[in-house]
Chains A and B, each alone.
Chain A
Amino acid sequence: MKKQKEIIVALAGNPNSGKTSLFNAIAGTHLKVGNWPGVTVEKYEGYVDFKGYKIRLVDLPGTYSINAYSPEEIITRDFIAEKKADIVVNVVDGTNLERNLYLTTQLLELDPKMVVALNMYDEVQKLKISVDFKLLQKLLGCHVVPVSAVKRTGIEALLDHVIRTYENKITIPRDKIFYSEEIELAVTEIQGLIETDILLSGKFSSRWLAIKLLENDAFAYSRARQSPSWVRLEKRLPDLMNSLESKLQERLGQHISGDRHAFARGAYKETVTMVNEEKKTITDHIDSVVLNRVLGLPIFLFIMWLIFQITFTFGKFPMELLQSFFVFLGDKVSLLLPEGMLRSAVVNGMIAGVGGVVGFLPNILLLFLGLSFLESTGYMARAAFVVDRAFHKIGLHGKSFIPMVTGFGCSVPAFMACRTLKNRGDRLATMMVIPFMSCGAKLPVYVLLIGAFFPASMSGNILFGVYLFGILVAVASAKLFKATIFKGSSEPFVMELPVYRLPTLRSILMQVWIKAWMYLKKAGTVILAVSLIVWVVCNFPAAPVLDREYAAKIEAVGKDPKVPPGTKEGTVAAFKNELAAKRLEYSFAGRTGKALEPFIKPLGFDWRLGVALTAGFAAKEVVVATMGTIYALDEAGRSESLTQRLRSDPAYTPAVALALIVFVLLYVPCLSATSVFHKEGGELKITVFYVLYTMTVAWALSFMVYQAGNAFL
């Protein structure tokens, strides 16, 4: 068979123009999409076979221009400017063409082989916007293909154009002049100087480089300086720029940018006719309520409260059902397997550990459903707008809000989402406080403890309170950081507010399904493995001395004529429990827990919690899994859910439960999140500080909560 030829196709476009949706539609992947600018911060790749070609699709982070303002914009600029793609597909939002065409003009300057994908064409048609494609193609000098990533229409036509453009089978004459005459003359002159260096003009489009030099672009200068043509450029550029600026009475960069916007506006005005502006009005109506001066903040808080309320209330029934299923499963398996090590490992290690975690799947799904809905409708950007003033006051940025809410799901993407913050101080300060935004993996711990120790009517509110408490700690920490270690001016807040969109059921369900699948996969791998390790450290070393001692005691009871026959069974069971507890204390886990006890005693935690919290470094769900295993071993042979066991254990009070919730809420995130933090933060000393800081805060605040709880509860 003939080897397929590979073409590299880059998707470039404005933030929120639907590049990732289009990528998913073409490559059949399920990457995360959302309705706010900056969902994609990393470049993603996928493959698709089409007409004998292997198309390597690269989804670039969205950018408004190629001046590269934030780290993810630099990824895009480097990729396109250095001609790493065979074909560039410029994705434009068809309902927002004027603004989107600005980037198109910049991409055209780079002179790549390009096709424009006019995305959201279904909405364009619904809004009765008509686009003169023929004229638009002539003005831009490249093909424009209507597509709808959501409805999956036009995809084949787009790929067809990509192939034909690659094969040079289609060309369209281009009226390539965007700029006023003076600028064009200067561009031509500089272009001539650049072209004296064949290497430089071979790597970059000389016209683009000339324009960028006139715009005072740092990247262009750094490249030009390395070139032999710099000697001449250095002489000519300042004079040329000065004379132009005095002639135009405006800074050159502003003028050039203005010309591009004028071109984009012109192209838009000539090719697009709009019958009504209905979509904008709907957005405006919603905004006049949710961004209202008086109602804005209460609505924001209400929406957050509602999500947690739903998470608890609707999740309760399926959660209990799943939990009783695992208890049932444990009992059945106990009957099948002979008594001994294997049975204990399967029932107390695997089923109790994994079951404890899987039971919380409904709650996790509901939380993600709520967050996905907020992300896909466009409310998230509004929330950033609403809180910016308050965030700015404490030293964070309105845009910090989005990574922070992402942190409610998982800290890993949240740390990565911080890349949309350009200012390093803002970014590090936000990353440092993300651990306090309670991640989904911690939810099982709260649901377990709140369910066990507080009345059902208060549960949702307490859960909301836990998250709120995390936010308060985050806010206070941010203020502290910005005042001390991450000083410096904050980034300006200039952010697009996307129009509201009703997410498709498919995309929401797909995102929730992916989360569910990942959760189950984690339960079946990491959590299963850790549960088994926990079981091993809880059972070894074996304690033959204890075993013999209790075997003797039990035998003695059986033979003792003084003990009335009816109470013998009870006494034997009590001995068995005592033995189980003593064996556990004797094990590695028990010894570790005991060694930790002096540190956690002031928080009201016993050694068993020490073991659970230590295991929680691997993954936060493991805290619950470990408690499941320990309690299953501790009290041999009782069919009860973990909730019931905790409730009946005298070592636990509501004060201990609250202190434990606070500790789990605040202490250092799991290993994988910490390694991502390290990668994104880039410095060992910052990572060390982050670990120490979260541990200290967790300890101090749970200490206070425990002491206060003892005094008042």
Chain B
Amino acid sequence: MKMSELKPGDGGVITSVTAQGEIAQRLLDMGLVKGTHFKVLRKAPLGDPLEIQLRGFLLALRLKEAEHIGVEKRPGK
């Protein structure tokens, strides 16, 4: 499933990043690589972007970017 399909409170592991070009590079640089554990904290008041927690920090990204990230849902801590 995609990261964009998760709900606030859901945890998961990244299985693939299918974005291309610079978006892909940006996601990689921010630590969104295969095998990364993360948790969806919340959505912005207007429903987009998402706020996730990974590698000990908080990251905001749009649903559009989250659609390029394949994840496996894991129960949140």
A residues contacting B by CB (< 8 A) are 64-65, 67, 69, 96-99, 102, 250, 253-254, 257-258, 261-262, 265, 268, 280, 283-284, 287-288, 291-297, 381, 384-386, 388-390, 392, 398, 422, 492-499
A261, A296, A492, A496: the one contacting B59 at CB < 8 Å is A496
12 A-B residue pairings within 8 Å (CB atoms): A65-B28, A257-B33, A258-B33, A283-B58, A284-B41, A388-B60, A388-B62, A389-B44, A492-B62, A494-B27, A494-B65, A497-B59
Does B1 make an interface contact (CB < 8 A)? no
Residue of B nearest to A68 (CB): B25
Q: What B residues does A389 contact at CB under 8 A?
A: 44, 46-49
B residues contacting A by CB (< 8 A) are 17, 22-31, 33-36, 41-49, 51, 53, 55-62, 64-65
- Looking at the assembled complex, report how far the CB atom of A464 sits from the nearest CB atom of chain B, in whole angstroms: 20
In the assembled complex, the Cα of A384 lies from the Cα of B46 at a distance in Å of 12
Beyond the given A386-B46, A392-B62, could you list 20 further A-B residue pairs with CB under 8 A, ordered by the A residue number? A64-B30, A65-B28, A65-B29, A67-B29, A96-B56, A97-B56, A253-B28, A254-B17, A254-B28, A261-B31, A265-B55, A287-B51, A291-B45, A296-B44, A297-B46, A388-B49, A390-B46, A492-B62, A494-B65, A497-B60
Q: What A residues does B36 contact at CB under 8 A?
A: 261
Please state if A386 and B45 are interface contacts (CB–CB under 8 Å). Answer: yes
Please state if A69 and B17 are interface contacts (CB–CB under 8 Å). Answer: no
Q: Which 3 A-B pairs rank lowest in CB-CB distance, beginning with the nearest?
A: A296-B45, A389-B46, A65-B29
Please state if B51 and A291 are interface contacts (CB–CB under 8 Å). Answer: yes
Among B48, B51, B53, B58, chain A packs the most CB atoms within 10 A around the CB of B58
Count the A-B residue pairs with Cβ separation under 8 angstroms: how many?
130
A64, A280, A492, A497: the one contacting B51 at CB < 8 Å is A497
Please state if B28 and A495 are interface contacts (CB–CB under 8 Å). Answer: no
Please state if B34 and A258 are interface contacts (CB–CB under 8 Å). Answer: yes
Residue of B nearest to A499 (CB): B58
Please state if A287 and B48 are interface contacts (CB–CB under 8 Å). Answer: no
- Looking at the assembled complex, report how far the CB atom of B76 sits from the nearest CB atom of chain A, in whole angstroms: 13
A258, A293, A493: the one contacting B35 at CB < 8 Å is A258
In the assembled complex, the Cα of A292 lies from the Cα of B51 at a distance in Å of 12
Q: What A residues does B33 contact at CB under 8 A?
A: 254, 257-258, 261
- Looking at the assembled complex, report how far the CB atom of A373 sits from the nearest CB atom of chain B, in whole angstroms: 21
- Looking at the assembled complex, report how far the CB atom of B25 sits from the nearest CB atom of chain A, in whole angstroms: 5
Please state if B41 and A287 are interface contacts (CB–CB under 8 Å). Answer: yes
Please state if B42 and A257 are interface contacts (CB–CB under 8 Å). Answer: no
Please state if B58 and A250 are interface contacts (CB–CB under 8 Å). Answer: no
In the assembled complex, the Cα of A392 lies from the Cα of B44 at a distance in Å of 13
Please state if B29 and A495 are interface contacts (CB–CB under 8 Å). Answer: no
- Looking at the assembled complex, report how far the CB atom of B55 sits from the nearest CB atom of chain A, in whole angstroms: 5
In the assembled complex, the Cα of A293 lies from the Cα of B50 at a distance in Å of 12
Please state if A494 and B26 are interface contacts (CB–CB under 8 Å). Answer: yes
Q: What A residues does B17 contact at CB under 8 A?
A: 254
- Looking at the assembled complex, report how far the CB atom of A282 sits from the nearest CB atom of chain B, in whole angstroms: 13
Please state if B30 and A492 are interface contacts (CB–CB under 8 Å). Answer: no
Residue of A nearest to B61 (CB): A494
A250, A257, A292: the one contacting B45 at CB < 8 Å is A292
Q: What A residues does B22 contact at CB under 8 A?
A: 69, 422
Q: What A residues does B62 contact at CB under 8 A?
A: 388, 392, 492-494
Among B23, B27, B45, chain A packs the most CB atoms within 10 A around the CB of B45
A381, A493, A497: the one contacting B65 at CB < 8 Å is A493
B25, B31, B44: the one contacting A386 at CB < 8 Å is B44
- Looking at the assembled complex, report how far the CB atom of A120 sits from the nearest CB atom of chain B, in whole angstroms: 13
Q: What A residues does B27 contact at CB under 8 A?
A: 494
Please state if B55 and A398 are interface contacts (CB–CB under 8 Å). Answer: no
Q: What A residues does B49 contact at CB under 8 A?
A: 385, 388-389, 398, 493
Q: What B residues does A98 contact at CB under 8 A?
A: 31, 55-57
Please state if A492 and B45 are interface contacts (CB–CB under 8 Å). Answer: no
Among A64, A265, A381, A493, chain B packs the most CB atoms within 10 A around the CB of A493
